[in-house]
Structure 1
Amino acid sequence: MRAHPFSSSSPSPPHPTHQASFHRLFVCRTARRHTLNLSASPSRAPQPRSSMAVPTIGYISICSGDPAAHAAAQASFEATEAQLRKIAADYGLAPDLDKLDEEGREILAGSDPNLKCTFTAPPPHRAGRVYIHLLPSDGLKRTRSNFTALLTGSKGACKADRSKRLHYLGTPFHRVETDFVVQGGDVTRGDGSGGEAVHAGGSFKVEVEGLKTVASYGSLAMAASRKDVNTSQFFFLLTDAPSQLAKVQGKYSVFGQALVSSQHLLNPGLADVLRSHSLDPDQVIREGEAVFRRFKHLASPDGRPRERVWIDECGIL
């Protein structure tokens, strides 16, 4: 894979073990992979002032695994449950699969030679839902409107491929890199080589305010399609390590925060919005933590997810 060359204005190259991951947040249309643009503005802080009163909160529900295999395993488990209910009284068996002893399982399995018994329910392929606070800066309007439209699917079909929708629903996370990022949002190709914004021309210029925002664990940022240009791809940070944050800080537009820590609810307005939608803020944090644990479980050093992971539901509160 050809990496984007280091520019003369860039910081020193990262350690060789991290160099490949350092490059791939930038969508390279020739290599059809993401590499990092190192010629972006220097890091700046603090976060900008906002004129928006009510926080905007989006959500993404995550699934992983093989849907067909999960459906087959679930169907087998339910058929086993149904057979137990049918014969339990006749054979004096416990009515629940988890209460059957070894002898009971043998009796159940022998009661129907055509039944392949599954005694344990398959683990859910839905990891949970992560809620995202979209930063309210007036300087992030285009980034925010692009992301919210892609969460809701309100803009219809992609212009590059009319068979695809401008909607994150069903799109995969094509990159889950250990101790770095989870990246998705390729609405056109799904493999990290595409993407399209809802704005005219299918892309928009990186908004400078996002480069000033301090990156941290759980930060949401846009993955650039080329220097200073965004489309639909985004990523969450899975790390708080300064060496990893430095690869993002001031180089990518940070515009949101996944609610994955109690620290993220210090803004009282966020908790108020959640409660207004009958959501328990503490449960929101716990579910977000669970989703990020699943991301970490699926991560690999080369960024290839250990199993398929995708967006099952998404929207705005």
Structure 2
Amino acid sequence: MLCTGERKGNAKVRALWYKQSPFHRIIPGFMMQGGDITHGNGAGGASVFTRSFEDESFLYKHQVGSVSMAHQHNSNKSQFFISFVPASWCDGKHVVFGQVLAEDLMHLSAFEAVGSPSGLPLVRVVVTDCGQLSGDGYMAPAAPSGKTS
């Protein structure tokens, strides 16, 4: 739902989705973090549910390109991170729920290059578009109004 924008927002957010949200933290040799759809700086986030939700499964391990929930224990909202390296220290702490496609892994080094030891990005990096992959691996377009067709 956060990729398609099908959920309406509130006074803080027009629609609950990632489109145009920044990656507020990029640490070379570790990860890039985004998904703060309320503040854009890591201090916020929202859930499509009425509150944060519990961790679901620690089945998958953190590898290059893993997409994981960024949170404190059982307090998931919209923030996520993408691993630049295998990150075994995150296994059992952050739920892996996705993977960057193999043909797109090469782009991670460009994002990593604009990170800093403090995590503050050297340039603004944003999610320019988002959607849901169909069964054939192609992204179905998100409706601009926040509604799905």
Give me the TM-score of the superposition, normalised by structure 1. Answer: 0.40
Give 1:222's aligned amino acid. M
Q: Deviations over 1:102-154 (max 9, x none)?
A: xxxxxxxxxxxxxxxxxxxxxxxxxxxxxxxxxxxxxxxxxxxxxxx000000
1:204 to 44, 53, 57: 53
Give 1:254's aligned amino acid. V
Distance 2:105 2:73 in 1: 33
2:78 is matched with: 232
1:246 to 88, 107, 113: 88
Instruction: Tell me, yes or no, if the aligned pair for 1:165 and 1:187 is still in contact at 8 Å.
Output: no
Shift of 1:156: 1.1
Give 1:316's aligned amino acid. Q
2:7 is matched with: 155
Shift of 1:304: 0.9
2:41 is matched with: 191
1:171 is matched with: 21
Give 1:156's aligned amino acid. K
Instruction: Tell me, yes or no, if the aligned pair for 1:164 and 1:187 is still in contact at 8 Å.
Output: no
Q: Which portions of structure 1, spanning 4 or more consecutive aligned residues, are displaced by more than 6 angstroms?
A: none
Distance 1:163 1:296 in 2: 28
Higher RCO (C-alpha 8 Å, min separation 6): 2
Instruction: Tell me, yes or no, if the aligned pair for 2:65 and 2:83 is still in contact at 8 Å.
Output: yes
Q: 1:164 to 1:259 in 2, by over 3 A?
A: same
More helix by share: 1
Give 1:176's aligned amino acid. I
The reply on whether 1:213 has 2:47 as its aligned counterpart is no
Shift of 1:168: 0.3
Counterparts of 1:266-277 in structure 2 under 5 Å?
A: none
Q: 1:235 to 1:163 in 2, by over 3 A?
A: closer
Distance 2:46 2:64 in 1: 26
Distance 1:162 1:303 in 2: 25
Instruction: Tell me, yes or no, if the aligned pair for 1:173 and 1:185 is still in contact at 8 Å.
Output: yes
The reply on whether 1:258 has 2:74 as its aligned counterpart is no
- SS for the counterpart of 1:306 is coil
Instruction: Tell me, yes or no, if the aligned pair for 1:172 and 1:310 is still in contact at 8 Å.
Output: yes
> Gaps (5+ residues) in structure 2?
134-149
2:32 is matched with: 182
Give 2:6's aligned amino acid. S
Q: 1:316 to 1:293 in 2, by over 3 A?
A: same
Distance 2:95 2:105 in 1: 23
> Gaps (5+ residues) in structure 1?
1-148, 261-284
2:140 is matched with: none
Distance 2:59 2:13 in 1: 37
Q: Deviations over 1:131-190 (max 9, x none)?
A: xxxxxxxxxxxxxxxxxx0000000114xx344420100000000101101000001000
- SS for the counterpart of 1:294 is helix
1:222 is matched with: 69
The share of aligned pairs that are identical, in percent, is 37
Superposition CA RMSD, Å: 1.4
Give 1:259's aligned amino acid. L
Give 1:221's aligned amino acid. S
